[in-house]
Amino acid sequence: MTASPTPLTTRNARSAEIMTRARTRFPGGVNSPVRAFRGVGGEPFVAARGKGACIWDADGNEYIDYVLSWGPLVLGHAPDVVLQALQQAMHDGTSFGMPTEREVELADAIADRMPHLEMVRFTSSGTEAAMSLARLARAITKRDHILKFEGCYHGHADAFLVRAGSGVATLGLPDSPGVPEALARLTITCEYNDLEAVARIAHEVPLAAIMLEPIVGNSGFIQPDPGFIPGLRRLADETGALLVFDEVMTGFRIAYGGAAERFGVTPDLTALGKVIGGGLPVAAYGGKREFMEHVAPTGPVYQAGTLSGNPLAMAAGLATLGALTRAVHDSITAQTEMLVQGLRDIATRHGVPFTAAHAGSMWGFFFRDGVVRTYDDAKQSDVPLFRRFFHAARRRGVSLAPSAFEAAFMSAAHGPREIGETLHRLDEALGAALAERD
């Protein structure tokens, strides 16, 4: 990491050239939409290399990174423990499509931290894990409807690309062409933190699952009201629905043992991803043995994967969870608190409406006052200011998610020096973003 004075990034010729080629080969030049920077405008970040807290783009510009591959890199970029584990695993072979010891070890490591995941099934993406959970919950309960929340993302399976109709929560309408209306009608959406709406629906419609991000990271950073998750547990129990935590993002971020530890509520089923793969493609779904034994081959619910439990991915996940001890988790949490408090102070000095929060090593901010409880609240933040702030931060070597509606992350590689430097740069960036408006 370079020291002050703050660099002002202007070089982007190589990145622009790569993106020109990429746009001829991929829709929007990308393999996942948010990377195209539609949320902020300008040329996308073309990554070349990462190490520790830093990432470098194709033009050699250096950034302190808070995207961290959208969450997985809890130890930072290319940590030595993960590289060593990969090197060892690689020499034994890159894929077998057969049971291996490493996958048992990773399942053990997960169960040590989340004892309610007695059994899991590994998949290669969070989308697959969430999609499989919908199928499993429907099979267990012999019910078809699923309740989800506005602003929660559970991957792009048809069942989840659904939004409620206007006004009160109603039967879902497709959020994307290609999702059949007949299927979308089986997904009901409520506003996050609206326990009364859930109560009304759960008593009216036989629900297979009530599914949520225990802390929302996919419409900015939104936390549940104190009674919300316990209330959902109670409603699920009263009505025979399964409570499903999508912890693909929150798992091993918001607490050492995830949402169950943080909120003291045990879900019936859980999806994991991101951190458990340590930067390689791994996700999982799991829960009590009696539920998981519905999955093939012990049960009739079919789900499979050629690369599921891939040995390189298992090795990366194991090394990551192994290094993420409770002490390390607590230390990343303290660094996150320092950054978030620093940002609040900066915003106060600049007199900008601002709210920021964190849970463990997951954090976020909005340019608006007051607590953000719903996606609608989030949408009332000053998005144009966010865009200017994002670009001003980028020019000063700080990489933030290119959208006002994404959570941010912290890693074990971010120390007090990186946090201090980040705050210094973001202070200048906010000043610049405000000056542009005036």
Ligand X SMILES: *Cc1c(COP(=O)(O)O)cnc(C)c1O
- Comparison of 154 and 233: residue with beta carbon closer to ligand X: 154
Q: How far is CA 1 from CA 97, 148, 415, in A?
A: 41, 42, 12
Tokens representing 342 are 């620093």
**Cβ 208 to ligand X shortest distance, Å:** 18
**Smallest distance from the beta carbon of 220 to ligand X, in angstroms?**
13
Say whether residue 214 binds ligand X (CB under 6 A): no
CB of 387 to ligand X, least distance (A): 22
Q: 270: which residues sit within 8 A by CB, 6+ positions away?
A: 114, 116, 117, 244, 245, 246, 247, 251, 258, 260, 285, 286, 287
Instruction: Tell me if 210 sits within 8 A of 202, measured CB to CB.
Output: yes
CB 65 within 8 A of CB 49: no
In this structure, the dihedral spanned by the alpha carbons of residues 317, 338, 1 and 363, taken in order and rounded to 10 degrees, is 50
Residue 54 tokens read as: 């830093």
Query: By C-beta, is 63 or 285 nearer to ligand X?
Result: 285
Binding window for ligand X (CB under 6 A); candidates: 57-65, 151-159, 201-209, 302-310: 151-159
154 part of the interface to ligand X, by CB under 6 A: yes
Where in 27-66 is the site for ligand X (CB under 6 A)? none
- What's the CA gap between 297 and 303, in Å, rounded? 9
Residue closer to ligand X by CB (options 149, 153) is 153
Using CB under 6 A, which residues numbered 117 to 146 contact ligand X?
Answer: 125-127, 130
Residue in 114, 249, 412, 433 binding ligand X, rule: CB under 6 A = 249
Residue closer to ligand X by CB (options 6, 125) is 125
Q: Is 273 in the site for ligand X (CB under 6 A)?
A: yes
Whether 274 is a known active-site residue: answer yes
Torsion of CA 426, 19, 414, 394, to 10 degrees: -10
Q: Which is closer to ligand X, CB of 187 or CB of 218?
A: 218
Question: Is 153 assigned a catalytic role?
Answer: yes
The single residue among 63, 153, 256, 405 that binds ligand X, judged by CB under 6 A, is 153
Binding mask 217-236 for ligand X (x = CB under 6 A): xx------------------
d(CA 158, CA 52): 36
Judge whether 336 and 358 are in contact, CB under 8 Å: yes
DSSP notation for 238-301: HHTPEEEEEETTTTTTSSTTHHHHHHS---SEEEE-GGGGTTSS-EEEEE-HHHHTTBTTTSSB
Query: Cβ of residue 374: shortest distance to ligand X, in angstroms?
Result: 17
Asked if 248 interacts with ligand X (CB under 6 A), we say yes
Binding interface with ligand X (CB under 6 A): 125-127, 130, 153-155, 213, 217-218, 246, 248-249, 273, 283
Residues with active-site annotation? 153, 246, 274
